[in-house]
Amino acid sequence: MTEHASSQPSTDQSAKSTEQLDTIRAGYSFEGGALLFGAAVVDGTAHPDAPVKVPLATLNRHGLVAGATGTGKTKTLQLMAEQLSGQGVPVFLADIKGDLSGMATAGTSNDRITSRATDVGQQWVGTAYPTEFLSLGGLGQGIPVRATITSFGPTLLSKVLGLNDTQESSLGLVFHYADKNGLALLDIKDLREVVSFLTSDEGKADLKSLGGLSSATAGVILRELVAFSDQGADAFFGEPEFDTRDLLRTAADGKGLVTCLELPAVQDRPALFSTFLMWLLADLFHDLPEIGDADKPKLVFFFDEAHLLFQDASKAFLTAIEQTVRLIRSKGVGVFFVTQSPKDVPSGVLAQLGNRVQHALRAYTPEDAKALKAAVSTYPRSGYDLEELLTSLGTGEAVVTVLSEKGAPTPVAWTRMIAPQSLMAPSDEATVSALVAASPLSAKYATAIDRESAYEKLRSRLEAAPAAPPAAPAPQSAPAPAPAPRAPKPAKEQPSIVEQVVTSSAFKSALRSAGTVLGREITRSIFGTARRSR
C-alpha cells in the first residue's frame, strides 16, 4: 500500500511532463521556413525531439530579447542572425560591445560547444557568414555611416540634444525656414549658422516672421548644438549620406548580408547612437514599398541596448516610435528590441512585440521582484512556474513564446538554446580590415564631401551685406546704421513669403509634411525625417 502511494505522484508527474512536451511539439510544428532556437526543457532535461522555433513569416511581427547581463542575449542574437542569413534574409546588428564581428569568422569547436550540441541535438559545423562592417562617422574600423541634418530631422535631433517640447517645436520652425529658403542643412555647422543668423541683427526680420521662435529659445538651441559639436558629433553628420537600401543586399551565394554597425567608440554618447539607429529604421520605413504578409521578411533589425532609446524620451517621441514599429511590419521589416528587462520598453511598444525570448531575470531588490511579476504576467498560461523559472535559468537558456503562422501565441517553452556556428568572440582586426577594404561600399562612403550648403550661403550673404549699398552720403543722412535697412532690401521678398506661409492655417499641418530645397522635394515622415527624391 505504501509502495503504491509513493509511486503515484511519480506516475502523475511523468504523465504531466509527457502532456507538456506533446503540447510544445504541437505548438511549434510549423510548415514553412523557421529559425531554430533550441530544444524544449521539461523537468530539467532537454528534448531534441521537441524543437522550439519561430516562423520566418511572423518575424515582421517584431520581438523582444531580454535578460540580465551574462545570460546569453548576445549569443541569441548571433544564432538568429546566422539562420536568417542562411535563409537569404539580410540582417542589421548594432554591435555595441564589439562581440558580433565574429559572425565573419567560422567558429571553432570545443568541449562546451560539443556538449551543448549533443544535448540539444544540433549538427554543429563552424560557419562564417557574409558580413559588412559599418561605423558611425568612421569612428572604428567600419565603413563610415553619415546622415545629413536635414534627413535626421528636428524630432530625432531634439531627442539627441535633450530639448523640451517647446524647444523641439522651435527647432522644427528652424528646419522649415531652411527648407523654404534653399538653405541645405548637411552638417551641424549648417544648422548652427542658420540659428546664429536668425539671432543676429541681419536676421531679426526673419526671426520675427517665425512667430513661434523666440530669440531666447534659439539661443538655447545654439548652445546645445555647440556642446554637441564639442562632444565630437560632427563626424556623424554630413555627406555622402548612407542609403539604407544598402542594408537589403544578399551575397553571391544567396545568403543574406549581415550588416554589423560597430558602436564601441560612441558608448559615451548613448542618446546619439540609439537615435541614429531609429533614423535608419525611419528611413527604411520611408523608402520601402508595402508588401503585406510575406513568406519571409526583407530585413530583420536588431536594436541592442534598447533602453537607451526610450530613456528620457518625450511623449511625442515615444508615440513616433510606436507608430513606426506598428507600421513598418507591412513593409517586411522585423524589429527585435534587445534589453535587460521588459520594463525597459514602453507598454505601447511592448504590446506589438509578438515574439519573446526571455533569458534569466534577477530579483535582488523589491523593484526587481516587481519587474519579475510584471514580466510573468505578460506570458500565456504554461506548465512552468515562471516566477521561479525566470530566476533560475542557466546561461544559454530562455523562456520562449512566439507567434505561430496563424498569428496565435505558441505554448511557453523553457528552451536550451543551440550554439552559434560562427566565432563567439570578435573577429581579428586583419579579417575586419580586409572585409572593409573589399566592400563595394568603401568607394561610395569612405570619403567625406563638404559641398555648398547653408553655412557657405549665409556666410557669403553676411560678408556681402555691408558693401552692398554705396555709402557716399552716409554720414549726413543717418549715422552708419542708415544703410543697414537698405542692404537686405532686394531680399525682402523672402521674409514676406515665409511670413505668409507661417501665418496661414495650413502651416501647422504642413510643417513636417513638405518643403522644397533648391528644386528637390523633401517629405518628412513620422519622425520628421526627410530624404531627397531618389
Q: What is the pLDDT of residue 290?
A: 93
Mean pLDDT computed over 395-420: 96
Tell me the mean pLDDT in the region 399-413: 95
pLDDT at residue 486 in the model: 43
pLDDT band at 469 (very low <50, low <70, confident <90, very high): low
Is residue 307 located within the same domain as residue 372?
yes
What number is the average pLDDT over the span 58-81? 94
Distance, in Å, from the CA atom of 160 to the CA atom of 221, rounded to the nearest integer, reads 12
CA distance 51 to 44: 15
Question: Biggest alpha carbon distance in the chain?
Answer: 124
Is 478 a domain residue? no
Question: Is 107 a domain residue?
Answer: no
Q: Tally Cβ neighbours within 10 Å of residue 163.
A: 21
pLDDT at 209 over 50: yes
Which of 415, 445, 475 delimits the end of a domain? 445
Same domain, 154 and 75: no
pLDDT of residue 265: 61
How far apart CA 49 and CA 29 sit, in angstroms, is 11
Is residue 119 included in any domain, yes or no? no
Q: What percent of the chain has pLDDT over 90?
A: 56
Q: What does pLDDT average to over the chain? A: 84
What average pLDDT score do residues 201-217 get? 86
Q: 104-113, 125-134, 259-268 — which is least confidently predicted?
A: 259-268
- Name the nearest CA neighbour of 255 among 84, 59, 458, 463: 84
Structural domain contains residue 164: yes
Q: How many domains does the chain have?
A: 2
Whether the predicted pLDDT of 484 surpasses 50: no
What's residue 507's pLDDT?
Answer: 38
Q: Residue 234's pLDDT band (boundaries 50, 70, 90)?
A: confident
- Which has the minimum average pLDDT: 40-44, 146-150, 210-214, 353-357? 210-214
Residues 295 and 387 in one domain: yes
Q: What is the pLDDT of residue 266?
A: 60
Cell of residue 15, nine digits: 504523465
The range of the structural domain enclosing residue 457 comes to: 149-237+452-465+483-532
| DSSP state for residue 282 in the 8-state scheme | H
Pair 323, 175 in one domain: no
DSSP 8-state secondary structure symbol assigned to residue 213: -
Q: What is the pLDDT of residue 47?
A: 97
346-387: per-residue pLDDT in tens?
Answer: 999 999 999 999 999 988 888 888 888 888 888 888 889 999
Q: Is the pLDDT of residue 527 over 80?
A: no
Query: For residue 481, is pLDDT > 60?
Result: no
| pTM exceeding the 0.85 threshold for the entire prediction | no
Q: What sign for the dihedral angle of Cα 448, 453, 455, 461?
A: positive
pLDDT in tens, 31-40: 899 999 999 9
For residue 358, being part of any structural domain is answered with: yes
Q: Residue 397 belongs to what H/E stretch?
A: strand 397-401
**Confidence (pLDDT) at 129:** 98
pLDDT at 307: 85
> What's residue 260's pLDDT?
95
- Cell of residue 510, nine digits: 504642413
Identify whether residues 71 and 97 lie together within a single domain: yes
Angle in degrees, CA 139, 143, 148, rounded to 5: 75
User: pLDDT, tens digit, for every residue of 416-462?
Assistant: 999 999 999 999 999 999 999 999 999 999 999 999 999 999 988 87
* Residue 254, in any domain of the structure: yes
Comparing 182-186, 458-462, 527-531, the range with the smallest average pLDDT is 527-531
Using the predicted structure, report yes or no on whether residue 497 has a pLDDT greater than 50.
no
Q: What is the pLDDT of residue 2?
A: 47
Looking at the structure, tell me whether residues 171 and 260 fall in a common domain: no
Beta bridge partners of 414: 399
Low-confidence winner among 247-261, 476-490, 518-532 (lowest mean pLDDT): 476-490
Percent of the chain surpassing pLDDT 70:
84
Question: 63: closest CA among 331, 325, 344?
Answer: 325
Same structural domain, 423 and 308: yes
Do 228 and 90 belong together in one domain? no
115 occurs within a structural domain:
no
Q: Which residues does residue 415 pair with via DSSP β-bridges, in sequence order?
A: 40, 398
Strands 299-303 and 333-339: parallel
> Residue 208 — pLDDT band, cuts 50, 70, 90?
confident
Phi, psi for residue 152 in degrees, rounded to 5: -65, -40
CA dist list (Å): 31 to 52, 76, 274, 405: 14, 23, 36, 8
Domain termination site, one of 391, 415, 445 = 445
Q: Are residues 259 and 402 in the same domain?
A: yes
What pLDDT is attached to residue 513? 33
What is the pLDDT at residue 467? 52
Give pLDDT, residue 14.
Answer: 84
Mean pLDDT value across residues 492-500: 40
Higher pLDDT: 99 or 248? It is: 248
Q: What is the pLDDT of residue 524?
A: 54
What CATH number is attached to the domain comprising 137? 3.40.50.300
User: Does the structure show a pLDDT above 70 at 495?
Assistant: no
- Cα–Cα distance measured from residue 485 to residue 474, given in angstroms and rounded to the nearest whole number: 13
Domain check: are 195 and 216 in the same one?
yes
Note whether 380 and 251 are same-domain residues.
yes
In a domain, 122, yes or no: no
d(C-alpha 38, C-alpha 51), whole Å = 6
For residues 247 and 331, the answer to whether their CB atoms sit within 8 Å is no
Clarify whether residues 230 and 245 are in a common domain. no
Q: Bigger pLDDT: 490 or 26?
A: 26
